[in-house]
Homo-oligomer: A and B are copies of this chain.
Amino acid sequence: MKDKYESIRLRNQLCFPLYAVSNMITRKYKPLLDELDLTYTQYIVMMVLWEEECVNEKLLCETLCLKSNTVTPLLKKLESKGYIKKSKDPDDERNLVITLTKAGEKLKDKALSVPKGIACELNLSREEAATLYKILYKMLDEDRKEG
């Protein structure tokens, strides 16, 4: 006979391992990111900028699935560290955009050591990683659709 409370057992939640693994990953990144003087969240902001030299805050929020009330202070922090600056969009002088400073650019090469350091910590087969990746992005995409 199935327990009435089966559905609220911690072990039967999908949310919990997601939450715990996410925390775990942030912990694993910390020592590596300390070398770059970045937190995990700052790191993912920098990743966006290393790819796209010039973005505005809105795009950043959408890309990272974060709200402006998270991103605004992050950008301030990264600005005070001298990695980014806000300037006029060269294409449209009216728009404010976020760009890398020289120091921020330079960090890109140093950051190459981070994925190497992490990879060996996550004991997943290539296939498991690919599966995980696919399912997670499916969830994110579904969510973005619903809005």
User: Which residues of A approach B to under 8 Å, CB–CB?
Assistant: 4-5, 7-10, 12-26, 29, 40, 44, 47-48, 50-51, 63-66, 108, 111-112, 114-116, 118, 122-124, 128-129, 131-133, 135-140, 142-143
Question: In the complex, A106→B145 CA distance in Å?
Answer: 37
Are B124 and A8 in contact, CB atoms less than 8 angstroms apart? Answer: no
The CA of A12 and the CA of B44, in the complex, are separated in Å by: 12
Contacts of A16 in B (CB 8 A): 44
* Cβ–Cβ contact A19 & B25, under 8 A: yes
Are A47 and B139 neighbours in the complex by a CB distance under 8 Å? Answer: no
B44 & A10 in contact (Cβ 8 Å cutoff): yes
Contact (Cβ within 8 A) A138 B124:
yes
Closest to A20 in B: B65
Chain B residue with the shortest CB-CB distance to A136: B17
Residue of B4, B63, B133, B143 touching A10 (CB-CB under 8 A): B63
Say yes or no: B14 contacts A122, CB within 8 Å.
yes
Kindly list chain B residues whose C-beta atoms are within 8 Å of the C-beta of A19.
Answer: 22, 25-26, 40, 44
Whether A22 pairs with B22 at a CB distance below 8 angstroms is: yes
